[in-house]
Amino acid sequence: MTLEVIFTFPTHPPPRSHSPLSLLRPSQFPLAVIGVASCAQIDSLNSLYSQFDASLGDIFPPGGVYPLVKNCFVFEETEGTENLDPGETFPGLIVVPRIMNRKLHIGTLLGVICSQILAEFGVLIRTLENPLGNEYLNATLMPVLPPLSELPPPLDSLSGPDQAPKFPSHNSQPDVSRPSFTLSAAPNLKRNASSTGNGPHQPPLGIQAQKKRLSTIGVSSSHGRLYKVLGDFFLMAGRTEDAMVWYTEAVQLFKNSHDPLWYACTLEGMATVAIIDAWAIGQGLHNSSSTVKEPWTDVSDKLQQAINLYLRTPAPDNEQIHALLAFLYCGCVLRQTSLLFAIWSSKGWGPLAFTTMLRSATKPYVPPTLEDGNWVNLERLSAITGISRSSISAVLTQMHGPWLLHLGQRERISILTSMATFYASLGYQRKEAYILREVLGCLLDLLVCGREEDGYSQPSGIPPTAGLGIHNLHPVPSASWGAVGVRVSESPSGNESILRLLKYVCKVLGINLDVVGLAQDTLKRTSELPPSLNDYDEDIVQELCEPSGWPELQVGVVREAVAVAEALPDFPTVAQFALSSLKMLQSVLSPGDQYHLYSTATRALITAHRRGDARAVEYWSGRPIVSISIAPLPAIRIPLEKPRSIQHKANDLKPLIKGIADPFLYNPRKAVAGKGNTLVVQNDVLEFVITLQNPYIFDLELQELSLSTSGVSFKSKPVQLVIPAGTLHQVVLSGQATETGTLTIRGCFVQAPGGIAREYILPLYTTEEEERLARKRRTITSENGRSKYPGLEGCRPQKRSSTTTTESSAGTFTFRFLECKVVPDQPLLRIRRSSVTHGALMLYDGEKSTIRITLENVSPIAVDFLHCAFEDSTIVPAQKALAEGNLSVFETYETENSLINNPVFSWDQEEVKVIAHNQNFTLTLGCFGKVGCTNGTIHISYAHTHDPQPQDSDIFYLRQVSYPLTVTVYHMLECSKMDILHFPSYGTSPSGTDNTTKDRFSTLRIDDDDWCLFSLEVRNTYGAPFDVTLERTQDGEATASSTTTIPPGSVSRLVMTIKKILIDEALLSKPIPTLSDRQFVVAQSSLSHREEQAQRELFWYREELFKCVRGRWRETGGARSGVLSFRAQRMTLPMLEAFRKEIAHITLTLCSIHELSEVPYRAAQFYPQANEFVQLTMKVTNLTSSSVVFTVDLETTPLEYVLHEGVLTDLPIGHLQSGESREIATSLCFLTAGHFEISAQVRGFGASETDNRRMARTYITAVVGSG
């Protein structure tokens, strides 16, 4: 027959307060104590035995019943040691020789110990069988036997040597001379011995199971308690049938007596017997003939009956006994809960359920069926077994209440821990968290009390030896330590366990105390890793995540968590818990709680730093950065990128700062190209404006704030600042880029006091980024409240969906950051001085003046490129008017002409442009007074064009220094009533011109009749006189001028003769041009072709007029001078006719036919005689630049008194080359005296009668005499 022995090895002795349970619940106490030591000499055995005996005295109370057996195994250290034999000197001391098969030998020794325990059971029972022992057993609710040495021996021990031996002392070993405990070889163990004899494995208890042995017990006390103790010993000995017999007898007696406590314990023993029998049958152990049918329902009924009996037990007056009664009650409830839990978790009654119940551990054994603890699996177990989770929870709930208040601290912790484990296995995590909070409260009470008083036993004064390692107790701290909490143990494992428990409780209630990490402070600032999309979206997910949990409960739990961490003390963890609470519960915390948690964390971090703790917390307050932007550089330091081809455009009148002129009003390619990176200069100080936020009610201190960059090397210093409560705060960080290339601003490194620096990236808020964030917000918002999940599953689907969305987008999305292009070092100029006083310039309208600006090169780099561009207040309105497109073609041209040809400022581009280091250069600029100009700016662009990077030779970089001016222009001369007249107003004949007329023409510097008279009125509206000069500058003609002084308030007309001109048809056919490179805009006017042709002719002749006639003025008696502009005047058609030269020159002369002499000519008139034929000679000269076929039409007025030869119209002249002349003649006869006018009109071939541009006219006057 195979026997099986089940051992339980407790790690700690029972508390001394449990000594009243020594007879009521013997299974609570250790039955044997085994000491383990090593020894090499026989002299040290005495020391070992003394130390072992003293240690037992420290652990167990003197005179106690337990332990029943006390052995110490001494192992030999080396094989060559002399045989160590303790003999009878040291009872219980057993030397284990150094042999090969020690495992078998130790197993034999354990069997001997079991035999000794069974023998001690018999000794104890014989003691209780005595009348005195029975009286002790029934004396109180929880009796305690005195030392066995003080009790008289039983009567049957004196009857003879065949009876049971006398009672040994409490610390002695069983008498080995008894037949039932024969260990003949035990005292003489040799090195080569592997067993201690042939003793039986299950010796008898020294008593019989029959009730006839009880005849010697006195009749003054009930026998029920003795029967119950007998049943306990038989149960621990493995004889379940005998145990059930005695339990049954005890139950019969307890039913008739009022002893509910012992009755309940007896029922627990009967339930245990039923479980063991069922387990033995299920495992194939058939040493018992008991038959069990469906035992667990009967077992559950017995346990429930026991629970009810515990409830009916009167409350004792002794608080210690009351605590033990509560302990027994809670243990019975745990037994019933374990039974139901084992059957439920094992899918019914069977071997797995037995294994679950028989596993001895600090918490219930969890079978493999609960490895997947989802809700569906748990409900499936309930459906299979018929035992619901709520029924198990209802049984377990019976012991939560007043019973727990009477338990000791250690017992309460043990009971609450078991309850929490059951709730966790059942899937009731909130109930588990509730119980664990009470566990933490008990631990905190013990922690506080342990600092006020000694919680350990006083050790003996025996010094420890190397062979026995059980002296791990600590001395009592002296009173001089004061009230400072000192952690005696250097091991942090206990603190870590409490903190893990705290974190778990808070996690169940919806608070993640690890949301703020705790790690070693490495002071590492790295930003080379690619940014994580999950980290960037963390704040958005937390902001939009649906809150879970009860806010009031969560606030209370975090207060407890911080208090427990402070009591340990663990100051970095205090800060972690406080800051995690602030981050998680900021929306529900009151202002007072927020301030308290922040101040607590601050104090804890300071204390931890002072004590040398290397741990630190991560940055906790969420994303503090709202925006990052580069501060605008001073205008004097802004670099500009330009193509090198622009250096050769010396005649470009456009400002260089605006780049090359684009012929289109809108160029999409140029618009896209303009959004490039910001240009900065190497080694220049850059400033970045960072906007920070503080959503809390307290001022948020940042120990360090620095930029996170990648690309080229960037040197900057971190700053320390305080963000005011509940505000947005801006701070400026500066640094220098030490290399050329691309500088990428990823974000910032933020570090709180006593914390670890963390990088927060901040991509550009592009359209793609905006769409991605909006899409993510919509996804999270749509998941909130969509489905109802049981228990704590509410947040997990949302987390899964958000994670899926992030993972799907993370593979394709890339961040775009703020980037700066670092260009090589550039020179730097400053304006040293200027000739303008206080930056104010005062001019007359049209005045031309100069100003001087002195530039100084303050950089070590020479300037070899210099260019000036200008702005003034007249440019913007003019550009706006041009952009609107509402101007006529004339107004558009005049506006563009004013902008381009008459700028307010100008300069000589041929000046020297090289400025060396620390040298000055004076720049001379021209100024022009233009009415309406109130201010202007001079932009001086400069650069060092030497290219240090050959691969970038097509571009260069320049800087600009600007000089603003206040301009005042006085309007003093007004021009009006421009007119052009024929000069002279009558036809001339060179042959008939008198000397007086010739003298006058010579004075006017004219020699023919192709001249006209230009006149203009000028008004002086200023308070000083001006000398105005009208000057004629025509090609091929002598220069002439006319000057007059115009007093203040006076009007003068200036007259000047100018020669007529004739413009080629090729030029007249051109449209009115635009001086800028603006794209063509369709004209909005609806002019006919003839009207457009006349408009163009007026425009081109007006331009030629302004080229040959110019005006200037000078201040009378002063040095200031300027130009007088006529461009505000308009040309009319009569003026055009007077200014335009005819296509041919016609000369008419009258000659006598008979005398072949000219008719008398005086005062521009011919004097022929009436009734005499005269010859009219016409000379036509082609004045155009091309050959033309001419015809001529003659007309006499009055025609009815004139006879003529042939026809007078369409007389052919022929084809004339440019400058060629031809004469034709015809005969006329005046029939009467009087005044006759003869006119000739020459036309080009194909010209219409209304086309004045292709005609030439002249006339003569004939005064006919009567003869």
- pLDDT, tens digit (0-9, with 9 covering 90-100), for 540-569: 666 666 667 788 888 999 999 998 898 888
Measuring CA to CA, which residue among 1205, 1202, 1221, 1204 is closest to residue 1213?
1221
Superfamily for the 625-634+681-762+817-821 domain:
Immunoglobulins (2.60.40.10)
Residue 372: the pLDDT is 61
Helical residues (DSSP H) of 611-701, grouped into ranges: 668-673
With a pLDDT cut of 90, the percent of the chain lying above it is: 25
Q: What would be the CATH architecture of the domain defined by 1142-1264?
A: Sandwich (2.60)
Report how far residue 491's alpha carbon sits from residue 505's, in angstroms, rounded to the nearest whole number.
23
Q: Higher pLDDT residue, 346 or 468?
A: 346
The average pLDDT across 1062-1086 equals 71
**Would you say residue 15 has pLDDT above 60?**
yes
How many other CB atoms are there within 10 angstroms of residue 660's CB atom?
Answer: 14
**Would you say residue 852 has pLDDT above 50?**
yes
**Would you say residue 100 has pLDDT above 50?**
yes
| Domain ranges within the chain, ordered by starting residue | 1-216, 222-314, 315-451, 625-634+681-762+817-821, 825-967, 973-1138, 1142-1264
**Would you say residue 335 has pLDDT above 60?**
yes
Q: For residue 798, name the pLDDT band (cuts at 50, 70, 90).
A: very low
Q: Higher pLDDT residue, 295 or 71?
A: 71
Residue 929: the pLDDT is 93
Residue 834: the pLDDT is 93
Q: CA angle 450-456-460, nearest 5°? A: 150
Residue 185: the pLDDT is 30
Full-model pTM? 0.67
Q: Mind listing the pLDDT tens digit for each residue in 740-779?
A: 999 999 899 999 988 888 888 888 877 777 787 777 777 7
Contact by Cβ (8 Å): 467, 38: yes
Least confident range of 442-451, 502-511, 848-857, 894-903? 442-451
Q: Do domains 222-314 and 1142-1264 have the same CATH topology?
A: no
Tokens 């219409």, residue?
1248
Q: For residue 3, name the pLDDT band (cuts at 50, 70, 90).
A: low
Least confident range of 3-12, 170-179, 394-403, 1102-1111? 170-179
Residue 1219: the pLDDT is 84
CB environment 458-484: b (16+ within 10 A), e (fewer): eeeeeeebebbeeeeeeeeeeeeeeee
The average pLDDT across 129-147 equals 85
The average pLDDT across 84-111 equals 78
Q: For residue 732, name the pLDDT band (cuts at 50, 70, 90).
A: very high
Please state the separation of Cα 621 from the chain's center in Å. 12
Measuring CA to CA, which residue among 595, 530, 534, 939 is closest to residue 746?
530
Sheet strands (E) in 931-1050 = 935-943, 955-970, 973-983, 1011-1020, 1026-1032, 1040-1046
Q: What residue type is 1226 in one-letter code?
A: T
Phi, psi of 49 (to 5 degrees): -65, -40
Q: For residue 703, name the pLDDT band (cuts at 50, 70, 90).
A: very high
Report how far residue 843's alpha carbon sits from residue 936's, in angstroms, rounded to the nearest whole number.
13
Question: What number of CA atoms fall less than 13 Å from residue 1101's CA on the CB side?
Answer: 27
The average pLDDT across 421-448 equals 88
Q: 319-345 vs 389-396: helix axis angle to the nearest 10?
A: 170
Residue 723: the pLDDT is 94
Residue 1183: the pLDDT is 84
SS3 helix, strand, coil % of the chain, rounded to 5? 35, 25, 40
Q: Mind listing the pLDDT tens digit for each residue in 666-680?
A: 444 444 444 567 899
Q: For residue 655, name the pLDDT band (cuts at 50, 70, 90).
A: very low
The average pLDDT across 1163-1179 equals 86
Q: CATH topology for 222-314?
A: 1.25.40
Average pLDDT, the chain: 78
Residue 481: the pLDDT is 39
With a pLDDT cut of 70, the percent of the chain lying above it is: 76
Least confident range of 443-457, 845-859, 967-981, 1166-1180? 443-457
Residue 794: the pLDDT is 52
> Given its phi and psi angles, is residue 839 left (phi above 0), alpha (psi -120 to 50 degrees) or beta?
left
**Would you say residue 460 has pLDDT above 70?**
no
Distances (CA, A) of 956 to 292, 639, 652: 102, 10, 18
Report how far residue 505's alpha carbon sits from residue 325's, in angstroms, rounded to the nearest whole number.
30
Residue 1001: the pLDDT is 58
How many other CB atoms are there within 10 angstroms of residue 513's CB atom?
Answer: 26
Least confident range of 33-47, 410-424, 1132-1146? 33-47
Q: Higher pLDDT residue, 897 or 831?
A: 831
**Would you say residue 1102 has pLDDT above 80?**
yes
Phi, psi of 946 (to 5 degrees): -65, 125
Residue 698: the pLDDT is 92
Q: CATH topology for 825-967?
A: Immunoglobulin-like (2.60.40)
Highest mean pLDDT among 776-790, 800-814, 957-971, 1092-1106: 957-971
Residue 208: the pLDDT is 40
The average pLDDT across 1207-1235 equals 87
